[in-house]
């Protein structure tokens, strides 16, 4: 059943304290939950949320309640009739953590008890007002029969006491002084290796930092510990925010649906975002660990101290925290590279979501299953919206707005409007039109027309905006621009604001720039200053000028992307061979062999659009034509740049393998470029020079970045070394599931018809496990983005994905739902595929026990 944002009603009761006792047991954990409850209006009955719980008994102020007379148990609720104004309520219930394969609530997997409560998992632990605007102080006691099996019993806040009961149970008690919503509650029990350190806050408070990891993995936790300390320092320096408890714990678990969870003082992490060493993790893995550690830490202020009033406000904490995480990563050193990668995510995944049946505003209006809304829209577009505010206001004013937001909302459950109001007050600006970014879905498209008058030395720029959602009112769009002379010098005419940001607020607006003695090159959307499409009509010459001379790295990169995209679209339109402009090839040759340009940026220039990315540009998607064009583009670059690719690989190889500089920016950049070069070179299957370098790089045992880069190059180009390298890699890494995930993923993403049979075969491999989300994502979610193979004309790709979804529907609906998304946008394909997709979607809809997660998406898609 759907819930609407407009129906928000403040809770009728507050729960001021919660005293929880967990008697942990694999199949029958007993939970005793004592709450101090207060009435806030004249509602007679208290209705608590609860799912899949076995109720034992209910006591109200020491009176044992009688079923039917005093209370009623529903399938998803417990109603207590006629409660007094203020009372103590004790609920006793049992749960089965071992049977919990959905990994929501309290579950046991790989010998560890752990919990995941966001968004609505707490109601699978005990009956409660499981909504984010009910803030309570929690005290939690964990009891176990066998202390040796569970030496670490953890919950939020500070450890306040330990002991043994008369029956011989060991217990540990935790108290969290900060009132919090139930979704931030967590418990963990298990046997771990423990890495400890301390951090002293700006105010001089000593904080104990603890990482709990699987036995034997301690040496893989050091990097995450450093990342945590860096995050704590960065948040003090850039945002003036310090940590507020005496202890910060991170637990790495192997079974986890998402990336990580910011539970107060006790983060629970998917182990892939904690564990990393150079032999088994790629540079990108390290970068991801740092980003996710930062993200969860930054939530302590943007999420925990200030939380969300209701789940429609999710982007209040997620968009803002992703923005903070992105700024943290950027300040750590590779700002331009990060920005380009973030833009790629927006364009390939968020624009796609906005164009499909699940399109929603960053503050949605209607939700069936909240777990379906942890999306690229809420997270990444939400961050882009915060970034636009930052662009409009500037760092200083934005930070003043943050201080205001925190001063006014600390300890509260807030709304997106509260955030905007703080920004308005700090800046004195009216953000009424800007607010539309929160309520309107869809991707605006801007069109730019320029007109130069030599006589008046004047450039007139007309910018218009249109939306893919006809009902949308015009957005307030910050457009950062660069003006370049034909020779590439930066121009700054007097009409251009100091921050170079034009503000488009009307459907169409004209901007004029004077004092220009020749027609300049006008480059809009520097730094991707707004999450919009840009309908570009610039000439080849202008694009080439931008690729060479724009100050902003994103603009240079984007101009090259447009040249690729033009070539691909022409080849598709003409059904003929793909051709690339000579000026583009010459430019790429120059960048490859120029020892002075940043190799990371050169690597990104060489990254061609994905099939999925190109598909997102079409209203009706020509699947095989896109596949053909992308293949030709890859081969054309491999052939056209062969000599320079080899030269660049040789030039950067020493830096890529420099042990002293192992994790320096320079070494990471060198490895990025070596991998990119090899990714093309491996297409030259007859070249001995390539064969030798593929082998040399695959043998670079100390660096997973290089080893996996070589493997991926060989496998994706179907080089004759692929089979033996796959076998060697599996043999070397069979004991390490996170590394084997890469091995699964690289095979699932081969752009060849054989991948379907391969994925099918790999579901039987010992490295695969249906019950572990990381394995399913590595093999099946990876395949679901292998565009042309998923959309094979005979429907074999759909069949593969659908059988996985059916299998996971009851076992783990959150994972099943993630696999479903690439099938929803069926209207954009040809008749035959539309028929096949409609058929599989209605098959799924007819499944008995269809999970709400799947139901919501299928309904949206078929309506």
The binder of 305, among ligand ARG, Zn ion, none, by C-beta within 5 to 8 A per type, is none
Parallel, antiparallel or unpaired: strands 193-200 and 206-213: antiparallel
Q: By three-state DSSP, how is residue 47 classified?
A: strand
Cβ 818 to ligand ARG shortest distance, Å: 10
Residue of 130, 235, 278, 318 interacting with ligand ARG (CB under 6 A): 318
Residue 852 touches ligand ARG, criterion: CB under 6 A: no
User: CA distances (Å), 762 to each of 283, 291, 657, 719, 791, in order?
Assistant: 26, 31, 32, 20, 20
The number of residues in the chain equals 863
Residue 782 · residue 749 · CB < 8 Å: yes
> What CA–CA distance (Å, rounded) separates 93 from 110?
24
Cβ nearer to Zn ion, comparing 302 with 774:
302
262 binds ligand ARG (CB under 6 A): yes
- The Cα diameter of the chain in Å comes to 96
- Residue pair 80/71 in contact (Cβ under 8 Å)? The answer is yes
Task: Give the span between the Cα atoms of 854 and 810, in whole angstroms.
Answer: 10
Query: Which of 173-181, 256-264, 489-497, 830-838 is the region at the interface with ligand ARG (rule: CB under 6 A)?
Result: 256-264
Q: Which is nearer to Zn ion, 248 or 511 (CB)?
A: 248
Are 697 and 710 in contact by the 8 Å Cβ rule? The answer is: yes
Residues 571-610 within binding reach of Zn ion (CB under 5 A): none
Residue with tokens 């607010």: 435
Catalytic annotation present for 296 = yes
Residue 35 Cβ, how far from Zn ion at the closest point, in Å? 27
Q: Which residues, in sequence order, are bridge partners of residue 742?
A: none
CB of 861 to ligand ARG, least distance (A): 20
Strands 533-535 and 444-453: parallel
Per the CB < 8 A criterion, the answer to whether 803 and 847 are in contact is: no
Which residue in the set 37, 260, 546, 578 belongs to the binding site for ligand ARG (CB under 6 A)? 260
- DSSP-assigned letter for residue 767: T
Question: Considering only 76-84, 254-262, 403-411, 542-550, which stretch makes contact with ligand ARG by CB under 6 A?
Answer: 254-262
- Compute how many residues bind Zn ion; rule: CB under 5 A: 2
Name which position in 55, 197, 230, 259 contacts ligand ARG (CB under 6 A). Answer: 259
Spatial strand order of the sheet with 158-164 comes to 63-64, 54-60, 86-95, 29-39, 13-23, 136-144, 170-180, 158-164
Find the distance separating the first CA and the last CA of the chain, reported in whole Å.
16
Interacting positions 301-330 with Zn ion (CB under 5 A): 318, 321
Of ligand ARG, Zn ion, none, which one sits near residue 552, judging by CB under 5 to 8 A according to partner kind? Answer: none
Q: Closest residue to ligand ARG, Cβ-based?
A: 374
User: 335-345 vs 314-329: helix axis angle to the nearest 10?
Assistant: 140
* Stretch of residues binding ligand ARG (CB under 6 A), selected from 252-260, 272-280, 497-505, 741-749: 252-260
Q: Which is nearer to Zn ion, 313 or 321 (CB)?
A: 321
Structure token digits, residue 486: 């034909």
119 binds ligand ARG (CB under 6 A): yes
The region, left, alpha or beta by phi > 0 then psi within -120 to 50, assigned to residue 727 is: alpha
Binding mask 363-392 for ligand ARG (x = CB under 6 A): --------x--x------------------
Q: Is the dihedral of CA 735, 741, 743, 744 positive or negative?
A: positive
Nearest distance, CB of residue 371 and ligand ARG, angstroms: 5
Asked whether 408 and 41 are in contact (CB, 8 A), the reply is no
Choice from 35, 261, 534, 544 touching ligand ARG (CB under 6 A): 261
CB of 364 to ligand ARG, least distance (A): 14
Which region among 36-44, 255-263, 462-470, 786-794 touches ligand ARG (by CB under 6 A)?
A: 255-263
For the bound state, the minimum distance from the C-beta of residue 178 to ligand ARG, rounded and expressed in Å, comes to 17
E strand segments, 381-484 = 413-414, 444-453, 458-467, 477-484
**Closer by beta carbon to Zn ion, 220 or else 387:** 387
CB 404 within 8 A of CB 45: no
The catalytic residue among 120, 262, 290, 296 is 296
When the beta carbons of 258 and 740 are compared against ligand ARG, the nearer one is 258
CA atoms within 13 A on the CB side of 106: 28
Residues 768 and 744: their CA atoms lie apart, in Å, by 8
For the bound state, the minimum distance from the C-beta of residue 260 to Zn ion, rounded and expressed in Å, comes to: 8
The residues pairing with 523 across neighbouring beta strands, listed in sequence order, are 482
Least separation, in Å, of the C-beta of 541 and ligand ARG? 45
Among 19, 49, 118, 856, binds ligand ARG (CB under 6 A): 118
Nearer to ligand ARG, 259 or 493 (CB): 259
Sheet strands side by side (includes 71-73): 46-49, 77-80, 71-73
76-95 residues in contact with ligand ARG (CB under 6 A) are none
Residues whose CB falls within 8 Å of the CB of residue 396, separated by 6 or more in sequence, listed in order? none
Q: Of the ranges 107-115, 260-268, 410-418, 648-656, which one interacts with ligand ARG (CB under 6 A)?
A: 260-268
Of 235 and 318, which has the nearer Cβ to ligand ARG? Answer: 318
Q: Quick check: helix, strand or coil at residue 67?
A: strand
Q: Is 258 in the site for ligand ARG (CB under 6 A)?
A: yes
Smaller CB distance to ligand ARG: residue 50 or 679? 50
Nearest approach, Cβ of 295 to Zn ion (angstroms)?
Answer: 6
Kindly list the catalytic residues: 296
Query: Given the rule CB under 5 A, which residues bind Zn ion?
Result: 318, 321
Query: Given the rule CB under 6 A, which residues bind ligand ARG?
Result: 118-119, 258-262, 295-296, 318, 371, 374
């Amino acid at each position: 059943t759907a819930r609407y944002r407009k129906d928000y009603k403040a809770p009728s009761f507050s729960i001021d304290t919660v005293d929880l006792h967990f008697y942990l047991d694999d199949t029958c954990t007993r939970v005793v939950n004592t709450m101090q409850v207060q009435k806030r209006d004249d509602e007679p009955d208290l209705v608590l949320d609860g799912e899949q719980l076995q109720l034992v008994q209910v006591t109200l102020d020491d009176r044992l309640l009688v079923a039917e007379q005093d209370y009623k148990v529903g399938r998803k609720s417990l109603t207590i009739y006629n409660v007094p104004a203020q009372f103590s309520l004790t609920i006793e219930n049992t749960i089965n953590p071992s049977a919990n394969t959905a990994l929501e609530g309290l579950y046991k997997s790989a010998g560890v008890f752990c919990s995941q409560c966001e968004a609505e998992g707490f109601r699978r632990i005990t009956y409660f007002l499981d909504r984010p605007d009910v803030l309570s102080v929690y005290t939690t006691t964990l009891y176990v029969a066998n202390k040796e099996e569970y030496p670490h019993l953890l919950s939020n806040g500070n450890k306040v006491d330990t002991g043994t009961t008369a029956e011989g149970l060991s217990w540990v008690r935790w108290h969290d002084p900060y009132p919090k919503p139930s979704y931030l509650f967590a418990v963990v029990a298990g046997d771990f290796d423990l890495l400890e350190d301390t951090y002293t806050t700006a105010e001089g408070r000593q904080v104990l930092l603890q990482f709990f990891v699987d036995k034997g993995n301690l040496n893989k936790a050091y990097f995450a510990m450093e990342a945590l300390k860096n995050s704590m320092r960065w948040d003090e320096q850039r945002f003036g925010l310090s940590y507020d408890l005496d202890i910060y714990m991170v637990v790495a678990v192997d079974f986890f649906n998402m990336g990580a969870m910011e539970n107060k003082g006790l983060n629970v992490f998917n182990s892939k975002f904690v564990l990393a060493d150079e032999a088994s993790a790629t540079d990108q893995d390290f970068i991801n660990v740092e980003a996710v550690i930062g993200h969860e830490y930054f939530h302590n202020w943007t999420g925990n101290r200030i939380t969300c009033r209701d789940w429609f406000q999710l982007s209040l904490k997620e968009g803002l925290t992703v923005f903070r995480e992105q700024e943290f990563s950027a300040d750590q050193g590779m700002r331009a590279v990060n920005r380009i990668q973030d833009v790629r995510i927006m364009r390939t995944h968020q624009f796609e979501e906005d164009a499909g049946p699940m399109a929603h505003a960053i503050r949605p209006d209607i939700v069936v299953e909240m777990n379906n809304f942890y999306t690229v829209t809420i997270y990444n577009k939400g961050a882009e919206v915060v970034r636009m505010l930052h662009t409009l206001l500037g760092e200083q004013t934005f930070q003043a707005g943050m201080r205001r937001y925190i001063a006014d909302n600390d300890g509260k459950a807030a709304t997106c409007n509260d955030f905007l109001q703080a920004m308005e007050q700090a800046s004195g600006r009216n953000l009424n039109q800007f607010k539309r970014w929160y309520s309107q879905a869809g991707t605006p498209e801007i069109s730019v027309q320029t007109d130069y008058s030599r006589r008046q030395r004047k450039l007139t720029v007309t910018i218009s905006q249109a939306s893919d959602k006809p009902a949308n009112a015009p957005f307030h769009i910050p457009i950062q621009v660069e003006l370049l002379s034909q020779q590439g010098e930066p121009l700054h005419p007097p009409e251009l604001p100091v921050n170079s940001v034009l503000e488009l607020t009307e459907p169409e607006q004209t901007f004029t720039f004077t004092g220009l003695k020749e027609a300049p090159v006008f480059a809009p959307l520097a730094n991707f200053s707004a999450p919009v499409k840009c309908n570009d009509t610039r000439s080849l010459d202008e694009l080439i000028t931008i690729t060479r001379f724009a100050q902003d790295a994103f603009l240079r990169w984007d101009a090259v992307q447009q040249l690729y995209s033009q070539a691909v679209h022409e080849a598709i339109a003409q059904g003929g061979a793909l051709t690339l402009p000579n000026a583009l090839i010459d430019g790429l040759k120059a960048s490859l062999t120029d020892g002075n340009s940043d190799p990371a940026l050169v690597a990104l220039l060489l990254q061609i659009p994905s099939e999925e990315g190109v598909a997102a540009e079409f209203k009706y998607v020509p699947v095989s034509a896109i596949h053909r064009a992308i293949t030709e583009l890859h081969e054309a670059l491999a052939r056209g740049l062969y000599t320079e690719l080899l030269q660049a690989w040789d030039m950067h190889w020493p830096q890529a393998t420099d042990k002293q500089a192992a994790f320096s920016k320079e070494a990471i950049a060198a490895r990025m470029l070596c991998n990119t070069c090899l990714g093309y070179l491996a297409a030259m299957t007859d070249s001995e020079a390539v064969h030798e370098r593929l082998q040399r790089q695959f043998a670079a045992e100390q660096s997973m970045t290089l080893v996996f880069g070589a493997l991926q190059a060989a496998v994706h180009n179907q080089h004759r070394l692929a089979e033996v390298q796959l076998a060697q890699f599996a043999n070397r890494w069979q004991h390490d599931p996170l590394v084997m995930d890469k091995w699964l993923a690289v095979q699932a993403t081969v752009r060849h018809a054989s991948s379907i049979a391969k994925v099918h075969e790999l579901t039987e491999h010992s490295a695969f496990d249906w019950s572990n989300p990381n394995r399913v994502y590595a093999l099946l979610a990876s395949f679901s983005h292998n565009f042309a193979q998923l959309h094979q004309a005979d429907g074999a790709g759909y069949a593969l994905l659908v059988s996985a979804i059916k299998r996971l529907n009851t076992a783990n609906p959150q994972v099943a739902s993630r696999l479903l998304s690439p099938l929803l946008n069926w209207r954009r394909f040809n008749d035959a595929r539309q028929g096949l997709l409609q058929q599989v979607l209605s098959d799924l809809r007819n499944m008995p026990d269809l999970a709400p997660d799947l139901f919501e998406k299928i309904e949206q898609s078929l309506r």
